[in-house]
């Protein structure tokens, strides 16, 4: 209950997470049938980069701040465009003042037939999220435990869609918990796409998560890690990653094209880099 995403909004972990979320949503839009986006740890949806929390965290200048100042090659620009267009639309005039969280990014990318379920446990953040989407019939906001809510919201009536699981990682054991939750959720909805975000504080815990998922019945799985510094280094968070269950068939190759540029642009010190791991054939 102490974690507030406002301190970290727009950082390098958000950049990676939101680019991949947008790529998955754009793939879902290739078919006319409706889909559902489920965000289990949704936050408040929109963040003030000039606010006290963002200024105290001071993480966004090395995340979204670097991206908007960069000139990516054409193929990378096309990959990040769905996400970056949403960010720019939130900042008319070109000055970065606001960063959209995952539920707002999803909502901006959705079509009229699609739906969003946004779940947030923190009561103040949940109230802010509900206010943001007040009157929007395409969005359901639940003030509840995202972990516990997975059983209740799966499978969705649309039978197509993506679930983003982005917990706070405040307590020990959250990484194994993520792996177990993804397997359970996949069993309830084996055709859904699931994105699990995690911090990287050394390779060994992340490798254990990957191994657990690779040994599970899940048959389509890709992982991507971004290191802004040596992942074994102390101090500020050196890396972040995602595991994607049932990834779009286009995603692994898209990550191969994206990640060299992203790692170079967001590097903060020695040991920066990335890895894309095809854990189960897509």
Question: Six-digit token pair at 228?
Answer: 């802004």
Tokens describing residue 24: 């998955």
The Cβ-side half-sphere exposure at 89, using a 13 Å CA radius, reads 13
Catalytic residues: 166
CA atoms within 13 A on the CB side of 141: 25
Answer whether 20's CB lies under 8 Å from 251's CB: yes
Q: For residues 170 and 162, what is the distance between their CA atoms, to the nearest angstrom?
A: 24
Give the residue carrying structure tokens 């990959």: 79
Q: Which of 151, 162, 133, 178 is nearest to 246 (CA)?
A: 162
Contacts of 54 (CB under 8 A, 6+ apart): 6, 7, 9, 10, 47, 48, 60, 99
Q: Where are the alpha helices (DSSP H) in the chain?
A: 12-28, 52-57, 64-69, 74-89, 102-109, 123-132, 146-153, 174-188, 203-214, 251-266
Query: What angle (nearest 5°) sits at the alpha carbon of residue 240, between those of residues 239 and 246?
Result: 150
């Amino acid at each position: 209950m102490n974690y507030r995403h406002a301190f970290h909004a727009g950082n390098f972990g958000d950049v990676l997470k939101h680019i991949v979320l947008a790529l998955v949503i754009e793939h879902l839009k290739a078919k006319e049938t409706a889909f559902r986006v489920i965000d289990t740890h949704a936050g408040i949806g929109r963040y003030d980069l000039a606010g006290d929390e963002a200024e105290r965290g001071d993480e966004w200048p090395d995340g979204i701040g670097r991206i908007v100042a960069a000139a990516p090659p054409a193929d990378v620009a096309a990959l990040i465009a769905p996400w970056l267009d949403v960010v720019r639309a939130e900042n008319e005039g070109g000055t970065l003042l606001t960063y959209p969280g995952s539920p707002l990014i999803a909502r901006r990318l959705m079509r009229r037939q699609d739906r969003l379920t946004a779940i947030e446990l923190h009561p103040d953040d949940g109230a802010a999220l509900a206010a943001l989407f007040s009157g929007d019939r395409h969005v359901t906001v639940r003030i509840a435990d995202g972990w516990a809510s997975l059983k209740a919201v799966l499978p969705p009536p649309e039978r197509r869609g993506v679930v983003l699981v982005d917990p706070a990682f405040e307590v020990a054991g959250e990484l194994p918990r993520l792996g177990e939750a993804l397997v359970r959720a996949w069993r309830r909805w084996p055709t859904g796409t699931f994105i699990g975000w995690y911090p990287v504080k050394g390779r060994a815990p992340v490798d254990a998560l990957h191994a657990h998922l690779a040994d599970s019945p899940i048959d389509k799985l890709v992982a991507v890690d971004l290191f802004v510094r040596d992942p074994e280094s102390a101090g500020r968070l050196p890396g972040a990653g995602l595991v994607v269950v049932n990834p779009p068939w286009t995603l692994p190759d898209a990550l191969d094209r994206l990640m060299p540029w992203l790692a170079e642009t967001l590097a903060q010190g020695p040991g920066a880099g990335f890895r894309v791991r095809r854990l189960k054939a897509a």
